[in-house]
Structure 1
Amino acid sequence: MSHERLHKSDGTTLIDWIIQTTAELPVDAVGLWQIIPEARTEFGLEGDELIDCVERTISALLDCGAKPVRGGVGTDHDWIEQFQYGTHKDEIVEKIINEWFGWGLGNPTAGGLWFALPELFG
């Protein structure tokens, strides 16, 4: 991105917001439905800037050890790992972004994809 955006509500830089997002992982999973709308609303991102932000955030979550998961409703698990995105970070990010493109880059729902540490779903 050409310049660092600031969060409209609290003045946090985008990179600090990404770090804060990863800090949630030991407590709870982080959903795409949280990431994308906040990047749009609070940072005013759209188009390539929004895509870059989502890629950076997913990459940071994966760097912290998070895995793509979906809710385990109807099972004995809170979260179920989603293996269809691959095993390597770049592959996972690319497949998730391509899936998002398939939705027309819309805002996902809470029932969609999340990122969780293995200790939360293992």
Structure 2
Amino acid sequence: MSLNLRARERFFGETMQEVIQNFPGELPRDAVGLWQIIPTGREGFGLSGDELAEFVSLCVAELLAQGAKPVVGGGGTKYDWIYQPQYCETNEIILDAVMKEWLASGAPDCDPGGLWFALPSPYVGNRE
């Protein structure tokens, strides 16, 4: 399957390629969550099924390529984000594990408390 990366997002008019490339722009300020990516594909581009999975995969791959790692919120700890090492170390393995987990759960929109991607920083701790 191959998405039309020139398709325009319904609300803001960016191309799919621009949206995929722009998600990592948030990383210097904050983490990017699956709860942001998935609805963008569903509502912004009208994607479902395999097309939605491909969009999510491309977005996560771009975040990983820009140095982001999987994290969850660090509420109750001294960190903003807690690194999730169960997804392994290489981008390819992380992407595969994240996608398998999301698809196995029924491909939900995900809640804001779920999986995010953040750049390593003093605000990201190891799993405690």
State how far apart, in whole Å, the 1-side matches of 2:88 and 2:8 are.
Answer: 33
Aligned to 1:3: 4
State how far apart, in whole Å, the 1-side matches of 2:24 and 2:67 are.
Answer: 10
1:121 correspondence with 2:124: yes
Shift of 1:50: 0.6
Q: Spell out, residue by residue over 1:2-48, the C-alpha distance to the aligned partner (whole angstroms, 9 max, x if none).
A: 52321001211111001111111001000000100111000111111
SS in 1 for 2:82: strand
Aligned to 1:32: 34
Aligned to 1:79: 81
State how far apart, in whole Å, the 2-side matches of 1:22 and 1:65 are.
Answer: 9
Letter of the 2:124 partner, please give it.
F
Which residues of structure 2 form unaligned runs of 5+?
none
SS in 2 for 1:62: helix
Which residues of structure 1 form unaligned runs of 5+?
none
Q: Spell out, residue by residue over 1:27-73, the C-alpha distance to the aligned partner (whole angstroms, 9 max, x if none).
A: 10000001001110001111111111111100000011000000011
Relative to its length, the structure with more helix (as a share) is 1
Give the TM-score taking structure 1 as reference length.
0.95
Count of paired positions: 122
Give the TM-score taking structure 2 as reference length.
0.91
Aligned to 2:23: 21
